[in-house]
């Protein structure tokens, strides 16, 4: 008996051939270990999965209990096969996985897929997962899984799975890589709108990681967008390289990152570390490479559908048309929540709308176009066309339900198709309710290039993502400033000595890298403190400068607005008595907005820089932005513009407008510091940095070195 060869699909993947994952994802031969004739089992499901696709290679079944299954020869072992196969699919119980992988390695297979969880009761040390990974690495064998659901390479027509997908699963432009098997199944198996180039359930990533799959997907000619359901990144360098590849190829990457809580906050010594948590590095990384981050599956789904169509948004904002005044108001509210700008339509567009709308309807954007229902299809078509044609419209969405077979909703589909054919801008539909888009109308429209999104809120998420990606592509290249000569050599000895730098040292470090700092003097007696105050000018502040005082305010270690000698002596005596004799004397600062600058050295992605609301707001106001250093003042300005406190810098409540250019330059200089001293510090906290009308100045600085 001969192996089954299934007819090849019309398009073979260009990502096969020489790619390191080709034995795994584009094999020429496959063996299914644990194949079974028992219906509704993994052993039978993996047979059906491969046979119901369009895999053009050779398929072998392996199970010593059967001579044939469903008309195909079944071999007792891999050693009994007539050839060495590229890829072994291991569909056996956990207790047998190790032995079967060892047999696959002896067989000289180059790849394997493992469905099992790879957990054993009473397992030895190292556990099975680590033993499997070590075996595979030693043999240079790629593994998909374990504890995964397999993968679909739909350019090749290959479906490696234990649970066969629905028959309608088809080749498309979306690549999906998921750490969650349920998210993989939810997007691949329940909604007919979605069509994939590649879909991978990565599981435990015993050897092959999200970075590897992402790199492969970006080489596939049909991939227009990549979606990641991400728990962690096990290959940081490879992941960064793949994101750079996506940037170069202009392929959007959409990420739903789970596990965003600040587990590391309790271990952080500075405000920067405590506020950042584990997710700060990802936010900085995503900002650098234009990765679109979403908060839930609905947002992920809508973004993937929007980016799967070939048109990109241009300049301007959103135009929406509705058949309900109330839902139009809801759209306005949600657009505001998501910072989605509506297109500012011009007078000519308003006149076109007014000429077609029924009496009592306003010619505005967003538009409620439903009147009496008379001639509604032509009215809707003309009005949507007018909105799309406006020069400030970047994308247009008809917001209505999509019940298949209902004449009204079917006509909405025709309207969108008609208008889309007359423009090169994206034109979509969106349901008002978030639901699975399995109705025939949604599926037809989506597959014809005008996706139907679901839910007004997730729709706004997708539109905001499209605008953000447009803006990312329009960024000017960062002009990275050079670090000051010899600054690193001067500070490396001190930083390698360990411990936290005191405030005076921290301010000196900042000043060496060009960050403006407030004048200050260290004093160790009341007389010295008095002399320093006279020289600096009244009023002054006294702060404890004793070693180990990381947060001086928490221990009553800061005395403010000291206007004369008596006040200085009294403040010094109190600090010396309670905390120790060493103090820092500093003039009181003038009026301005307080920001916080910070930096962390992330173990995966290296230094990251933070800017946020400062002073007493730092712990109470979730207002901060992160970026990978180094960057220039233009990039720093963009970070500042994203803060909630940004309007305060323009002057509010009696405060003058701050010198934004000076603040941006200081933040850029911090980024140079963080990049230059990578590996030598753990956390840097400059808080507050006072932003005034003429300049900005750091009032306090805490630098924590790497633990010895």
CATH number for the domain harbouring residue 385: 3.40.50.261
pTM comes to: 0.91
Same domain, 636 and 683: yes
Domain boundary pick from 473, 507, 527: 473
Cα–Cα separations (whole angstroms), residue 19 to 143, 224, 237, 645: 15, 19, 18, 48
C-beta of residue 68 within 8 angstroms of C-beta of residue 5: no
- Domain annotation covers residue 289: no
Examine the domain organization and report whether 88 and 119 are in the same domain: yes
Q: Are 276 and 261 in contact (CB under 8 A)?
A: no
In a domain, 504, yes or no: no
In a domain, 295, yes or no: no
488 is a domain residue: no
**Interatomic CA distance for residues 297 and 46, integer angstroms:** 27
Instruction: Give the count of beta carbons closer than 10 Å to the beta carbon of residue 7.
Output: 9
d(CA 98, CA 143): 13
The token pair at 577 is 């008595």
**Beta carbons of 85 and 28 less than 8 angstroms apart:** no
CA distance 151 to 177: 9
Q: Within a domain: residue 524?
A: yes
**8 Å CB contact between 686 and 701:** yes
Note whether 22 and 165 are same-domain residues: yes
Q: Six-digit token pair at 323? A: 């058949």
CA distances from 48 to 11, 32, 55, 164 (A): 21, 11, 12, 6
Q: Which residues contact 567 (CB under 8 A, 6 or more apart)?
A: none
- Compute the radius of gyration of the chain from its Cα atoms: 31
Letter string b/e over residues 419-442, b meaning 16 or more CB atoms within 10 A of that residue's CB: bbeeeebbbbbbbbebeebebebb
What pLDDT is attached to residue 15? 53
Residue 509's nearest CA partner among 690, 663, 705 is 705
Q: What order of strands is seen across the sheet that includes strand 317-322?
A: 367-368, 317-322, 393-399, 427-431, 452-454
- The tens digit of pLDDT for each residue in 173-211 reads 999 999 999 999 999 999 999 999 999 999 999 999 999
Residues of the chain with pLDDT under 70: 1-17, 261-278, 616, 618-621, 653, 708
Helix ranges, 474-525 (H): 487-497, 503-512
Shortest CA distance to 27 belongs to which of 73, 83, 101, 102? Answer: 83
Give residues with Cβ within 8 angstroms of 39, minimum separation 6: none
CATH of the domain at 545: 3.30.1490.20
Residue with tokens 């702060």: 543
576 and 631 belong to one structural domain? no
| CA–CA dist 156, 13 (Å, integer) | 6
Indicate whether 619 belongs to any domain. Answer: yes
Cβ–Cβ under 8 Å, residues 143 and 155: no
Whether residue 604 is found in the same domain as residue 578: no
Same domain membership, residue 171 and residue 30: yes
Phi then psi dihedrals of residue 222, to 5 deg: -90, -5
The domain tally of the chain equals 4
Give per-residue pLDDT as tens, 434-445: 888 888 999 999
> Do 529 and 580 share a domain, yes or no?
yes
Residue ending a domain, among 473, 490, 506, is 473
Q: Are residues 538 and 447 in the same domain?
A: no
Residues 57 and 182 in one domain: yes
Task: Answer whether residue 321 is part of any domain.
Answer: yes
Residue 286 lies in a domain: no
Query: Do 243 and 141 belong together in one domain?
Result: yes
Q: Which pLDDT belongs to residue 271?
A: 38
Are 359 and 215 in the same domain?
A: no
* Strand 593-602 relative to strand 681-691, pairing: antiparallel
Any idea of the CA torsion for 394, 472, 261, 553, to the nearest 10 degrees?
-110
* Listed residues 537, 560, 588: the one ending a domain: 588
Pair (29, 59) in one structural domain: yes
Structural domain span for residue 636: 593-705
Here the CATH number for the domain that contains residue 12 is 3.40.50.720
Q: Which of 277, 271, 276, 279 is nearest to 685 (CA)?
A: 271
What is the structure's pLDDT at 17? 63
d(Cα 47, Cα 328) in Å, to the nearest integer? 50
């Amino acid at each position: 008996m001969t192996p089954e060869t299934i007819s090849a699909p019309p398009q073979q993947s260009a990502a096969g051939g020489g790619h390191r994952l080709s034995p795994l994802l584009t094999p020429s031969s496959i063996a299914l270990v644990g194949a079974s004739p028992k219906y509704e089992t993994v052993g039978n499901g993996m047979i059906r999965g491969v046979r119901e696709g369009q895999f053009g290679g050779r398929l072998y079944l392996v199970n010593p209990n059967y001579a044939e299954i469903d008309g195909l020869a079944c071999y007792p072992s891999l050693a009994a096969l007539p050839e060495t196969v590229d890829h072994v699919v291991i569909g056996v119980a956990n207790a047998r996985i190790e032995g079967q992988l060892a047999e696959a390695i002896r067989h000289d297979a180059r790849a394997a897929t493992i469905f099992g969880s790879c957990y054993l009761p009473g397992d030895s040390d190292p556990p099975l997962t680590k033993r499997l990974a070590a075996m595979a690495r030693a043999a240079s064998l790629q593994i998909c899984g374990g504890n995964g659901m397999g993968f679909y390479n739909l350019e090749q027509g290959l479906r490696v799975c234990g649970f066969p997908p629905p028959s309608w699963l088809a080749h498309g432009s979306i690549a999906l890589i998921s750490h969650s098997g349920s998210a993989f199944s939810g997007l691949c198996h329940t909604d007919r709108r979605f069509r994939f180039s590649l879909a991978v359930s990565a599981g435990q990533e015993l050897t092959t990681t999200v970075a590897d799959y992402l790199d492969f997907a970006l080489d596939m000619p049909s991939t227009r967008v990549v979606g990641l359901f991400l728990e962690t990144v096990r290959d940081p360098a490879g992941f960064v390289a793949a994101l750079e590849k996506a940037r170069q190829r202009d392929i959007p990457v959409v990420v739903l990152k789970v596990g965003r809580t600040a587990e590391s906050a309790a271990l952080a010594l500075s405000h920067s570390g405590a506020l950042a948590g584990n997710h700060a590095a990802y936010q900085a990384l995503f900002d650098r490479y234009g990765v679109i981050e979403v908060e839930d599956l609905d947002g992920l789904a809508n973004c993937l559908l929007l980016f799967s169509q070939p048109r990109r948004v241009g300049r301007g904002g959103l135009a929406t048309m509705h058949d309900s005044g109330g839902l139009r108001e809801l759209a306005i509210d949600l657009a505001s929540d998501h910072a989605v700008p509506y297109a500012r339509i011009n007078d000519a567009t308003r006149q076109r709308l007014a000429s077609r709308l029924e009496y009592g309807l306003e010619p505005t954007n967003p538009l409620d176009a439903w009147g009496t229902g008379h001639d509604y299809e032509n009215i809707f078509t003309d009005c949507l066309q007018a909105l799309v044609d406006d020069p400030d419209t970047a994308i247009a969405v008809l917001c209505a339900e999509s019940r298949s077979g209902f004449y009204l909703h079917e006509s909405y589909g025709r309207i969108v198709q008609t208008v889309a054919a007359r423009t090169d801008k994206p034109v979509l539909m969106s349901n008002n309710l978030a639901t699975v888009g399995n109705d025939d109308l949604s599926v037809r429209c989506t597959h014809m290039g005008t996706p139907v999104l679901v839910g007004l809120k997730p729709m706004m998420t997708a539109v905001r993502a499209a605008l953000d990606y447009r803006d990312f592509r329009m960024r000017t290249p960062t002009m990275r400033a050079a670090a000051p000569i010899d600054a690193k050599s001067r500070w490396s000895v001190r930083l390698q000595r360990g411990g936290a730098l005191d405030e005076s040292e921290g301010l000196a470090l900042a000043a060496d890298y060009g960050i403006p700092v407030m004048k200050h003097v260290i004093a160790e007696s009341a007389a010295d403190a008095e002399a320093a105050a006279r020289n600096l000018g009244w009023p002054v502040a006294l702060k404890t400068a004793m070693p180990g005082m990381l947060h001086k305010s928490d221990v009553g270690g800061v005395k403010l607005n000291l206007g004369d000698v008596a006040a200085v002596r009294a403040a010094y005596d109190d600090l010396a008595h309670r905390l120790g004799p060493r103090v820092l004397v500093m003039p009181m600062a003038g009026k301005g907005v307080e920001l916080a600058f910070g930096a962390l050295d992330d173990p995966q992605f290296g230094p990251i820089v933070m800017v946020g609301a400062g002073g007493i707001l730092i712990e109470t106001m979730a207002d901060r932005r992160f970026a990978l250093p180094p960057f220039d003042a233009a990039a720093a300005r963009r970070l500042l513009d994203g803060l909630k406190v940004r309007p305060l810098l323009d002057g509010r409540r009696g405060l003058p407008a701050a010198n934004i250019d000076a603040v941006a330059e200081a933040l850029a200089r911090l980024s140079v510091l963080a990049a230059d001293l990578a590996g030598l510090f753990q956390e840097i906290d400059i808080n507050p940095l006072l932003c005034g009308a003429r300049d900005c100045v750091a009032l306090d600085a805490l630098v924590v070195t790497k633990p010895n």
